[in-house]
Structure 1
Amino acid sequence: MWIRVKSIHCVSTGPGELTEEPFFIVSRYPGNALSETWGPFSIRDGQTILLNRLIENPPGNTVQITLFDSDEPGHHGGGPHDDHLGEIRVDSSDTRGSFNAIFPHYEGMHGGRSRQREYIIYYDLIDDERDLPVKPYLLQLVSLHCRDAQERKDRVFITVDGERVLGPRNMKTGDILPLVSSVDPIPIGSAATIELWEQDSNRNDKFGSFTLVIRSDFNFDRPLDPIRFHRDKGITGDATYNLYYRVTPSS
């Protein structure tokens, strides 16, 4: 088995932090010793860092990928103020496919009440390092409608599974942005996370998130209701957008 760690996506940094410096420590046991450190990476709200790191996981082994936030340069997990955000453990017998893990992922790791730190790690489990996971559907973004801008003019961008697919684009209340000609169909699996953000020079604002789930009874011919992104807490002004889309089988 091979593990392809594709990217780390920052939904929100911790309380009082405009940027953070997450890093990974990767180990494999019991045999075929492996110890690697990736990072630290400077990251802020709404940002995705592409990793595309491959890890071999021979039969009978387990790989552990641990995420920390570095609060003191050079410690890499050993500093008294570094935050341990959690880990992914992958056995060589685990089901193959595309996955994501949300960090921190247990009680008490999210920080203060007013703001919660959140990261998403996207990764694939594959049999051969040259394999690509099957993504049997295509997501086509059709148009984005600004019902109520946060400011006089917003600079919005869209991510799908942590990767930016549009923007930033300037939009104001009443604007309609056609997307079919500017955004190619996006290959997705049976679930995909779509987020709308507003890019600021200080801290990016997340306008909302939607998880699209495609089950066996999904009706590809039925017109889909738009995704409504609405945010009026923690930011100045309201923000309401509708995203129209369609999904088709890839073959």
Structure 2
Amino acid sequence: MVIASAISFHLQKGELAAIVGINGIGKSTLLRTLGRFQPEISGSIIIEGKELSTYDNLEMASKVSVVLTESIASKNLSVYELLALGRQPYTNWLGKLAENDISVINNSIALLELEPFLDKKCFQLSDGQLQRALIARALIQDTDIILLDEPTTHLDLYHKVQILKLLKSIAHETKKTILFTSHEIELAIQLCDKMLILDGIHNAFNEPCKLIENNSFDSLFPTDTISFDANTGTFKIKQ
């Protein structure tokens, strides 16, 4: 079954990008396809000149990390155990953490402010706390590409902004490519380097300022209810 077609975009190292669009348009499906959780029906997905389907599992795990919205397999893990799983592509068959692994884990713990939760079981966390732990695990996996499905779900506005600013800083400073799906379109406009507007027709992709100039946000929602203000980069409700 085709969910969306005629999608074409490319990202560079060090860019933060968002996939936005209305509910049911295929944002999560596209992200899952890019993460090889399901196959594409047609077309090509290329990472560093190599077709995605040709990567073996270990290569894939060291190249792309993914944070999806579905529940983790075992919430009985402690937060630290969950985070340590991010180093699996690099540890020996015993899974023993080396000094470098521990350093990477500790850096992400500090970045996501997870120190108070390390001994807690995952089922004891709030949705927002668990979301932060899953993002930290993706950072700990230390891949060139990070894919996140709705990373700011369950977070208040302050923490939404905090997470997206953190992701932008990580992308720019470490030259990772970070792509996420989101309903937070106005935040994405302010913070992202690139955006893909998934609408099933044009699927415009560009820098946010260029998308605004091209009126790409104007038809995202029914115009009799919601309009886009190009001057402020925000959506207005028609009374």
State the TM-score, normalizing by the size of structure 1: 0.27
- Which of the pair is proportionally richer in helix? 2
State the TM-score, normalizing by the size of structure 2: 0.28
Higher relative contact order (CA 8 A, sep 6+): 2
- Which of the pair is proportionally richer in strand? 1
